[in-house]
Amino acid sequence: MSELLKIPNIANKIISKTSILAFIVAIMVFLITTNVRLAFNSVDWYKTGFERHNVSYTTGLNATQLSNIAQDISSYFNSDQDYLVVIVQAESGNRELFNENEKIHMKDVKVLVKTVYQFQILSGLYAMLYSIVIFTIYRRTNPKRLLNHLIYSGVFTSSLVLLVGVLASISFSYLFEQFHVLSFDNDLWQLDPRYNYLTRLFTEAFFFESTILVGISSIIQSIILIFAGLVGKKYIN
């Protein structure tokens, strides 16, 4: 009989530990996906990358055209448009910048970006609901519980991002290739820069810098969470 009575306690412990782990992972996912979303929507980040990597020279496009392209791509990810259509002015008249393979690949990228958006929303909702529930249940008996979980989340996120950052610094080309192999079910991402504009606009170096930007932003936010948790614990009895 006593063994049967222990079963609910064991189940409760499993649920509790699982929900805590899910919260820690949710915070990590929310921070990273939020920063990825900001990067994908930042026209200024695109333009800065174009300038840094001398894209005007490699594409023959001027600063105004590149600025318009950055705006079109950013808008595309937040539209209902299936295919990315970018029109540039040439000596012979207006023409589409991207070929069919590039447009199909960008459609695949958009699906991936929308998935990132969904993970951001779902992880944010879970983290918010978990925080409300834990605060409501433990605000009198254990008010530091939620703060501890925030600290754990910050430590976990910053540690994982640092690890990925180190690996990216050592072998970004390999990781970048494997990311494409796992993320796409076709080989349209293998674009030849001699015949397309996408890989001339967005070089591997640009994506490395974007990865570092997302990583640094996530680490800073993680440190803020850790600091907020520690300060909060100090002032809560």
If you search the block for the tokens 């779902």, which residue do you land on? 122
Does 112 reside within a domain? yes
7 located within any domain: no
29-78 tens-digit pLDDT? 999 999 999 999 999 999 999 999 999 999 999 999 999 999 999 999 99
Enclosing domain of residue 37: 17-235
pLDDT > 70 in the chain, percent: 96
Give a yes or no: residue 47 inside a domain. yes
Q: Is 206 within a domain?
A: yes
9 within some domain: no
3-state helix, strand, coil in the chain (%, to 5): 75, 5, 20
Name residues whose C-beta falls within 8 Å of residue 32's C-beta, 6 or more positions apart in sequence: 157, 161, 214, 218
Residue 3 lies inside a defined structural domain of this protein = no
Judge whether 223 lies within some domain: yes
What pLDDT score was predicted for residue 7?
A: 54
Mean pLDDT of 137-166: 91
Cβ proximity of 96 and 87 under 8 Å: yes
Is residue 3's pLDDT more than 60?
Answer: no
Percent of all residues in the chain with a pLDDT value above 90, rounded to a whole number:
79
Arithmetic mean of pLDDT over the chain: 91
Structure confidence at residue 237 as a pLDDT band (50, 70, 90): low
**Residue 224 CA: distances (Å) to CA of 53, 131, 218, 221:** 32, 17, 10, 5
Q: What is the pLDDT of residues 80-127, one digit of tens each?
A: 999 999 999 877 778 899 999 999 999 999 999 999 999 999 999 999
pLDDT band with cut points at 50, 70 and 90 for residue 195: confident
pLDDT: which is higher, 6 or 168: 168
Is 11 within a domain? no
Structural domains of the chain, count = 1
Q: What is the pLDDT of residue 6?
A: 53
Closest to 209 measured CA to CA, from 27, 42, 28, 86:
42
* Helix, strand or coil, per DSSP, at residue 191: coil
- At 171, list the tokens: 């072998």
**Residue-level pLDDT at 90:** 74
Tell me which of 6-20, 132-146, 168-182 is least confident.
6-20
